Amino acid sequence: MKASIHDGTIYDYIKKIVPQEDILLQEPMSRHTTFRVGGEARCFIRIKSKEQLLKLAPYLQATGQDYFILGNGSNLLVGDKGYSGFVVKLESSMGEVRVMGSRISVPAGMPLSKAAGTARDHGLSGLEFASGIPGTVGGGVVMNAGAYGGELKQVVESVEVMGREGEILVLDNETMEFGYRTSVIKNRPFVVLEVTMKLQQGSPEEITARMEELAAMRRAKQPLEYPSAGSAFKRPEGYYAGKLIMEAGLKGFCIGGAQVSEKHCGFIVNTGNATAADIKKVMEEVQLRVKERFGVRLEREVIFLGDF
């Protein structure tokens, strides 16, 4: 039987690793996802150093606790009834940014947008595509995040990860087995600690101009005014998810406060008062109707966590 946090044993151990102010009980997950919905996590732990994570994660693993490693919550839907496990939030302060010539190493908890900005400030080009992606470097590497013709596969040189027992491994680009919105880490018990990317020398002014160009394209085509998790579905081979959804007559389709965006049908948005159940139902209805109409199965990019 799993120990309860209320018996004090696990909580006392966690307090030896993480300051008490970084341990939040019954924390609303609506504060930590870009959908802005979700029930309470049993225990929410802010991790601000690699050493904390190397002690905590193996302990949770060894004691059989359910836990979830959280980045920016940008592709996550937490159920309205919450999550009975431990949410381990990797903060951007987990490590130092290191710039070595054309290489840059960044901690897993750093937002991709900040990593792209840091690269720009050092005159390094190649990460511009990531400047508007709302996730973290760690989460981005796990799913090989990309946009506008760029993806992390193109720039990642190596990834430092922690294994199940707390061991540290370094995976090179080939070992990462990057694919479309996937990597070797997606189905392995690895936690990303640090990512090293190899970029090219460039002009900060030209890099900034490219970032601004991509930002304008996003504002024009994406419903950034509403909470969402970005593209809700992966692109099916030979198709575009948003186009299939639109042609299935689902533009603007809504349940409660969840809606298929009228601006970009690949996005499911929270129009203001959505529940996680509303969003889940819209996604399932979209999958059902697209399958019925076109025989194409849409695969979610969004991770479901907890009880709905």
Considering the candidates 27, 91, 128, 301, report the single residue annotated as catalytic.
301
Are the CB atoms for 183 and 143 separated by under 8 Å? yes
**Residue closest to 106 by CA, chosen among 118, 97, 114:** 97
Considering the candidates 42, 120, 181, 235, report the single residue annotated as catalytic.
181
Helix (H, G, I), strand (E, B), or coil: what is residue 250?
coil
Amino acid letter, 172: D
* Cβ burial, residue 251 (10 Å; 0-12/13-18/19+): middle
Task: Please spell the DSSP secondary structure of 111-145, one letter per residue.
Answer: BHHHHHHHHHHTTEES-GGGGG--SBHHHHHHTT-
Considering the candidates 105, 231, 261, 300, report the single residue annotated as catalytic.
231
Pairing of strands 83-90, 76-78: unpaired
Active site residue 301: yes
- Nearby residues of 126 by Cβ (< 8 Å), 6 or more positions away: 119, 150, 154, 155, 197, 199, 200, 202
Adjacent-strand bridge partners of 191? 162
Active site residue 27: no
Q: Would you please indicate which residues are annotated as catalytic (active-site) residues?
A: 181, 231, 301
